[in-house]
Amino acid sequence: MVKQDSKSLMIQASGLTHYYGPYAAIEDVNFGVERGEVLGFLGPNGAGKTTTMRILTGYMPPTRGKVTLDGFDIVEQSLEVRRRVGYLPETVPLYTDMPVNSYLKYMGTLRQMPPKAIKRRISEVIDVCRLGDYRSTLIGKLSKGFRQRVGIAQAILHEPEVLVLDEPTIGIDPIQVVETRRLIQELGREQTVVLSTHILPEVSMICDRVLIISEGKIVAEDTPENLAERLKGSEQMEVEIGGPVSQVLPALRALKGVASASHQSSHGKEIYTIQANEGQDLRDEISRTVIGAGWSLLSMQTMGMSLEEIFLKLTTHEEL
């Protein structure tokens, strides 16, 4: 087997475009994934995350463009690609009337793994995915979070070098979300992982790098830290201050680093909404000012930006 274009990148996608009928779900998407990297696709509903992942895994060919995985072309050498990829699809086609271990055995057979390897790997993945108490349970009787773990178990069964996980934590309870993220982090130490999510903090926790995808295009690409830094500018705070509004409001507005401040009374509380300038952390300054003037600082809260706001900012204000 001749490898094409074997660079150090594990995945290289160039000019990816996919049409569903006349509609372009993704257009001219380009990115690379380093070996051992954990890359996150962050984007709202309909952005094109699932479409991109289906292409990466060889599940469907792109209308235009090219992807290589470990140097193999995903269309021309799809068998080689499939061997190297584990895929957790958006909706996992689990057989609800099969017990967990039979299902995994079936998936191993489908992938033409040798019987000995199947046996060894089932016991390993059951361990890794903490499914030990459920190996004989019918999949249909498992909770959503545990089904998701079975989905991950089947994705890693054949020891793929690349894992593609489509919204691995969607629809599961907070405790299982924490567990699943921990599991992905563990897997990410050994493997190359591409995952998609709507959740910004999730990428910060798990990913080395983030691609923000919106309306079928990549609108930003950065480390979670840099992304957070770039977005800090529009950080907003809500502060409750006890003191005369006619003095507090001008004092806040006079602070260096405050872009704007407004006031409203709510149930006898004086609430100030403060917008900080790019990259400014005003908490210290605000508390010193308030206390120095003899007023009381009753609460201070930073308002995280919603994903929508981030998209708006990235798609309308940034030159990329």
Ligand X SMILES: Nc1ncnc2c1ncn2[C@@H]1O[C@H](COP(=O)(O)OP(=O)(O)OP(=O)(O)O)[C@@H](O)[C@H]1O
Which residues of this protein are in contact with ligand X, per CB under 6 A? 20, 25, 43, 45-51, 90
Number of residues that bind Mg ion (CB under 5 A): 3
CB 213, CB 49: distance < 8 Å: yes
Least distance (Å) between residue 59 CB and Mg ion: 13
105 contact, one of Mg ion, ligand X, none, CB 5-8 Å limit per kind = none
Which is it for strands 217-222 and 64-69: parallel, antiparallel or unpaired? unpaired
Per CB under 5 A, which of residues 213..252 are in contact with Mg ion? none
> Does residue 169 bind Mg ion (CB under 5 A)?
no
Say what angle helices 115-128 and 100-110 make with each other, to 10 degrees. 130
DSSP 302-320: EEPPPHHHHHHHHHHT---
40 contact, one of ligand X, Mg ion, none, CB 5-8 Å limit per kind = none
- Measured in whole angstroms, the distance separating CA 257 from the mean position of its chain's CA atoms is 31
Q: Which is nearer to ligand X, 51 or 289 (CB)?
A: 51
234 contact, one of ligand X, Mg ion, none, CB 5-8 Å limit per kind = none
Cα–Cα separations (whole angstroms), residue 194 to 16, 57, 155, 239, 260? 16, 11, 12, 39, 40
Q: Which is nearer to ligand X, 8 or 45 (CB)?
A: 45
45 contact, one of Mg ion, ligand X, none, CB 5-8 Å limit per kind = ligand X
Q: Which is nearer to ligand X, 68 or 197 (CB)?
A: 197
Q: Which is nearer to ligand X, 16 or 290 (CB)?
A: 16
Class of residue 205 by CB neighbours under 10 A (exposed 0-12, middle 13-18, buried 19+):
middle
47 contact, one of ligand X, Mg ion, none, CB 5-8 Å limit per kind = ligand X
The residues, ordered by sequence, that sit 6+ positions from 312 with a Cβ below 8 Å of its Cβ are none
43 contact, one of ligand X, Mg ion, none, CB 5-8 Å limit per kind = ligand X
Alpha helices for the chain (secondary structure H): 49-56, 78-84, 100-110, 115-128, 144-156, 174-190, 200-206, 224-231, 245-254, 283-292, 307-316
Least distance (Å) between residue 166 CB and Mg ion: 6
Least distance (Å) between residue 170 CB and Mg ion: 9
Q: Which stretch binds Mg ion (CB under 5 A): 61-69, 89-97, 105-113, 281-289?
A: 89-97
DSSP 281-305: --HHHHHHHHHHTT-EEEEEEEEPP
Q: Which is nearer to ligand X, 18 or 105 (CB)?
A: 18
> Does residue 51 bind Mg ion (CB under 5 A)?
no
Least distance (Å) between residue 27 CB and ligand X: 11
Which of 50, 191, 197, 214 touches Mg ion (CB under 5 A)?
Answer: 50
Least distance (Å) between residue 53 CB and ligand X: 8
Give the three-state DSSP class for 276.
Answer: strand
Q: Which is nearer to ligand X, 163 or 241 (CB)?
A: 163
> Phi and psi (nearest 5°) for 220?
-160, 150
Q: Which is nearer to ligand X, 48 or 108 (CB)?
A: 48
Tokens standing for residue 298: 């009753």
Binding footprint of Mg ion on the chain (CB under 5 A): 49-50, 90
